[in-house]
A and B are shown apart, each in its own frame.
Chain A
Amino acid sequence: MTENNQNKIEKSNILSWKKVTLDKILQSNDIIPENFRGKISLDPDKDFVLNSQIGKNLENICPTNAISYKTDPESISLNVGKCIFCGNCQQETPGLIKISNNFDMAKKRKSQLLEIFPESIPFGKTYEEIGNELKNKINKTFGRSLAIREIDAGSCNGCEIEISALTNPIYDIEQFGMHFVASPRHADLLLVTGPASKNMEKALKIAYDSTPEPKLVIAVGACACSGGIFGKNYATTGGIDSIVPVDVFIPGCPPRPQALIYGIMMALNKIRS
């Protein structure tokens, strides 16, 4: 390969070189030598078995501590962001670590630079991943902003605490294009909590009617889904779906902020289909 390349250079006139365009780089691999140490990943062979000897050796051999070995449960992790591509680890355990000459290693988030073997039980998506997915959907469906109105229909204020936690600097849902509005007339989506007490029935109906179409309603928490511990009694209606049509139910007592934005995403899926 290398010889070929050199030949090409000798043959061609520098002025007549074609421009190196972006799609050309991605298409043709031929100017990258095979022994280039590029993409590094944990890709174990079928018969590979991890033991503490291998793990500790790898940990010692890595000059930047990009590899770390953990017992209980036994696992090895590789932080690609720390790697200086010395290739020591591949020499040590070719059965586990593979280095190719690819260079498509860029990741949008730092957390994605970390690889773990054996992969732990998938934790699901992180808060930011769900949030960004949601942001894309909001961009398409609601023109870059989703206005939310929260209505308490008799909750114990546990759900309110979690909903207001969404606006704190840690969860900060405004980064995903959502914001809470002061009136149902400005809202696209209603987050309703509580077992729908009889005393709030009328107010909830009025709020629903004054929300402009297209509108979504999410029942937040066990109480809003079914009445929860209060059930259906003389003072409650046993779930807000007995008063207004509900698009998505988010269970939990109370549901945590991650669960709330996951539920909001479900609601948006519904409106697109």
Chain B
Amino acid sequence: MNNEITERYLSKLEQLEFKFKLHVQNNNEIYIELEDSSKLIEFCNVLKLEINLRLLTMIYCDERKTNHKFSLRYLFGSDTDDVFFFVVIFIDKKHAYFPSLSDVFPSSIKYEREINDMFGIQTQGDTTLKPLLLHDFQKNIFPLRKDFHANTELNYTPRKFEFTPITGEGICEIPVGPIHAGIIEPGHFRFSVLGENIVNMETRLGYTHKGIEKIAESMSINDAVFLSERISGDESIANSMAFCQAIEKITQLEIPEKAKQIRLLFAELERIYNHFGTLSGILNDIGFSYGASRLEILKEYMMQLNEKLSGSRLLFGVNQIGGVKVDISNTALANIHSMLDSIFQNFEKILEHIQSNSSVIDRLRNTGIIEKQTVNDLGIVGLSSICTGIDTDTRKIHPYGHYSSINFEQTPRVNMEQQVKLQKRIGDVLSRFMSRVDELRYSKKLIESISNLETGKINIPFESILTPFSSGLGYAESHRGETLHWIMIGEDNSIFRYKIRTASFANWPIIEHAVLNNIVSDFPVINKSFDFSYSGNDL
């Protein structure tokens, strides 16, 4: 089935007036190598306008040892079909710059800043890129280059970071962070306000940068599963699943059906407890502590259920290459169903209280509105995009694991799309709140769709020796959205390059647009309604 879609896109590509080499790998990954790399921007524009693709990520790779060149892979994806496009260009190590795609895809700026930080390669003609991840590091340190060792001791050298100055009569700046008032992760926000209204907001992240992509290169594949779980603690299943699937794709390892079912169960359980947490956080930030506490209790119940099933409250240590480590019996499955029933009965009652409380709805409605056009331009994914009617559900577009045997015709996201069309939902905090509620109900449905677990093994041993420099793309839908992991294998089953693009990395830029013209005191609730992970962004 996949091959048909791929064939269709290949024939579309061949009609274009560009010269390139094509090859397909892992069923749905089309690699395009342009013969004339100066035509890259033109080509990407055609991809955007004629084939309706959006930029997913940019993967830079130091291949100087094998190729004497750096390589850059632009990853594009379709919003409707299960197909990925890699546009590959090679960059000479002497002329270390590459063309900027920001005119065609504004979302590329963040990736370009990342590449500038980690590889020291700049975009053509532009020298004003601000640092993203490295703050007070020595100059000319490029961690992801191969000649840099992960354990290098670096001295503290203050570097100046200049926020865009906003001037005018009555405008003042409010710096917030990196340590915030609540129990959340670190990040700096610089507000420029006129009275109470936010005129401009600039984020500076990178405080939790731990060098995950670099230290993965010195780990064995089995150990790296644990690392992938700790990219963002609350997305442990989604991230480890994407990583395992990428490796399984490269080795062409077909995992047992039961393992697929268990992965789906845990992925949805993870989504449920996190959505409860976020809904509770939104209510807490607007001062409705009754609802917040009630939902916190449900979150705690879900975490206790997680612990009973897997031994970890955050579902660490469930996935492994070739399957799962945790077995679920049919009696345990029945327990999950009955537990979810009672939790959701409770939830619907609480929701009734919340929705009938006009002071809650007043605070949520018309707060933090984002436009569909902005969402499209910035390449926003997951729940942050569905609240404006753009559906990027990886489970549906690129079905993986057990999701491929689920009928997606009745999804809540279609519901939200209709609501947006009818202008009942306008991309505000309320619409994000409601799309989370829909997601919760839908996750329950997905879990209920598994009424009986297959018999058989839950994992198959991973022993094969991988071909050096083969690569694969793993993907999963975390509760924040599309998660992409691209892995290139090195010699002796090592990891040559591990590129992680979490939904948080793609989604952070939207907050700067969502807060405009809102009052400063609404910032926490707007921020919480998106529910970004700082650690998943900074890596």
A199 touches B209 (CB 8 A): yes
B534 touches A236 (CB 8 A): no
Which residues of A144-182 are within 8 A (CB) of B? 150-165, 167-171, 180, 182
Q: When the two chains form the complex, which single residue of A150, A157, A171, A230 contacts B215, counting CB atoms closer than 8 Å?
A: A230
B211 touches A235 (CB 8 A): yes
A161 touches B297 (CB 8 A): no
In the assembled complex, the Cα of A83 lies from the Cα of B175 at a distance in Å of 64
B1 within 8 A of A: no
Instruction: Return chain B residues, CB-CB under 8 Å to A164.
Output: 183
A215 within 8 A of B: no
Total cross-chain contacts (CB, 8 A): 143
B83 within 8 A of A: no
B43 within 8 A of A: no
Q: When the two chains form the complex, which single residue of B135, B178, B534 contacts A157, counting CB atoms closer than 8 Å?
A: B534
In the assembled complex, the Cα of A269 lies from the Cα of B134 at a distance in Å of 40
B179 touches A199 (CB 8 A): no
Q: When the two chains form the complex, which single residue of A152, A156, A198 contacts B186, counting CB atoms closer than 8 Å?
A: A152
Instruction: Return chain B residues, CB-CB under 8 Å to A194.
Output: 208
Scoring B residues 233 to 263 as 1 if CB is less than 8 Å from chain A, else 0, what string do you get? Answer: 1101000000000000000000000000000
B150 touches A157 (CB 8 A): no
A155 touches B209 (CB 8 A): no
Which residues of B286-308 are within 8 A (CB) of A? 293, 296-297, 299-300, 303
Which residues of A53-108 are within 8 A (CB) of B? none
Q: Interface with B: A3-11, A19-27, A115-123, A201-209, which one?
A: A201-209
A203 touches B186 (CB 8 A): yes
In the assembled complex, the Cα of A203 lies from the Cα of B234 at a distance in Å of 24
Q: A230-B215, A234-B154 are in contact. Are A163 and B183 (CB under 8 A)?
A: yes
Interface size on A, residues (CB 8 A): 47
Which bucket holds chain B's interface residue count? 35 or more
B211 touches A156 (CB 8 A): no
B233 touches A233 (CB 8 A): no
In the assembled complex, the Cα of A52 lies from the Cα of B394 at a distance in Å of 56
A256 within 8 A of B: yes
A137 within 8 A of B: no
A229 within 8 A of B: yes
Nearest chain A CB to B369's CB is how many angstroms away? 27
A229 touches B227 (CB 8 A): yes
Scoring A residues 17 to 44 as 1 if CB is less than 8 Å from chain B, else 0, what string do you get? Answer: 0000000000000000000000000000
B163 within 8 A of A: no
B211 touches A236 (CB 8 A): yes
A234 touches B230 (CB 8 A): no
In the assembled complex, the Cα of A200 lies from the Cα of B236 at a distance in Å of 23
Q: When the two chains form the complex, which single residue of A154, A158, A195, A235 contacts B233, counting CB atoms closer than 8 Å?
A: A158
B299 touches A155 (CB 8 A): no
In the assembled complex, the Cα of A168 lies from the Cα of B154 at a distance in Å of 41
B207 touches A160 (CB 8 A): no
Which A-chain residue is minimally distant from B296 (CB atoms)? A168
A253 within 8 A of B: yes
Nearest chain A CB to B227's CB is how many angstroms away? 6
Q: When the two chains form the complex, which single residue of A157, A165, A171, A253 contacts B535, counting CB atoms closer than 8 Å?
A: A157
B210 touches A158 (CB 8 A): no
Which B-chain residue is minimally distant from A181 (CB atoms)? B181
Nearest chain B CB to A249's CB is how many angstroms away? 19
B179 touches A203 (CB 8 A): yes
A156 touches B181 (CB 8 A): no
B275 within 8 A of A: no
Scoring A residues 213 to 241 as 1 if CB is less than 8 Å from chain B, else 0, what string do you get? Answer: 00000000000000011111111100000
A131 within 8 A of B: no
B316 touches A233 (CB 8 A): no
A157 touches B233 (CB 8 A): yes
A197 touches B207 (CB 8 A): yes
Which residues of B510-539 are within 8 A (CB) of A? 533-535, 538
Instruction: Return chain B residues, CB-CB under 8 Å to A184.
Output: 179
Q: When the two chains form the complex, which single residue of B156, B178, B185, B214 contacts A234, counting CB atoms closer than 8 Å?
A: B214
A152 touches B185 (CB 8 A): yes
B509 within 8 A of A: no
Which B-chain residue is minimally distant from A253 (CB atoms)? B316
A141 within 8 A of B: no
Nearest chain A CB to B178's CB is how many angstroms away? 5
B18 within 8 A of A: no
Q: A156-B231, A168-B293 are in contact. Are A230 and B210 (CB under 8 A)?
A: yes
B300 touches A157 (CB 8 A): no
A183 within 8 A of B: yes
Q: A155-B535, A157-B534, A253-B316 are in contact. Are A198 and B183 (CB under 8 A)?
A: no
Instruction: Return chain B residues, CB-CB under 8 Å to A251.
Output: none
Nearest chain A CB to B508's CB is how many angstroms away? 15
A263 within 8 A of B: no
In the assembled complex, the Cα of A202 lies from the Cα of B137 at a distance in Å of 12
B535 touches A156 (CB 8 A): yes
Most chain B CB within 10 A, of A158, A165, A182, A236, is at: A158
Q: A158-B314, A182-B181, A207-B179 are in contact. Are A165 and B186 (CB under 8 A)?
A: no
In the assembled complex, the Cα of A153 lies from the Cα of B185 at a distance in Å of 8
8 tightest A-B CB contacts, nearest first: A158-B233, A182-B181, A235-B211, A168-B296, A156-B233, A154-B208, A199-B135, A156-B230
A-B contact pairs, 29 of them (CB 8 A): A151-B179, A154-B209, A154-B210, A154-B535, A156-B231, A157-B233, A157-B535, A159-B233, A161-B277, A161-B314, A162-B313, A167-B183, A168-B296, A169-B293, A169-B296, A194-B208, A197-B538, A198-B137, A198-B154, A203-B179, A230-B212, A231-B215, A234-B143, A234-B150, A234-B154, A234-B211, A236-B210, A236-B211, A254-B313
Extra A-B contacts (10), CB below 8 Å, given A161-B277, A201-B156:
A153-B186, A154-B208, A154-B210, A156-B232, A161-B234, A161-B314, A194-B208, A199-B538, A203-B178, A236-B210
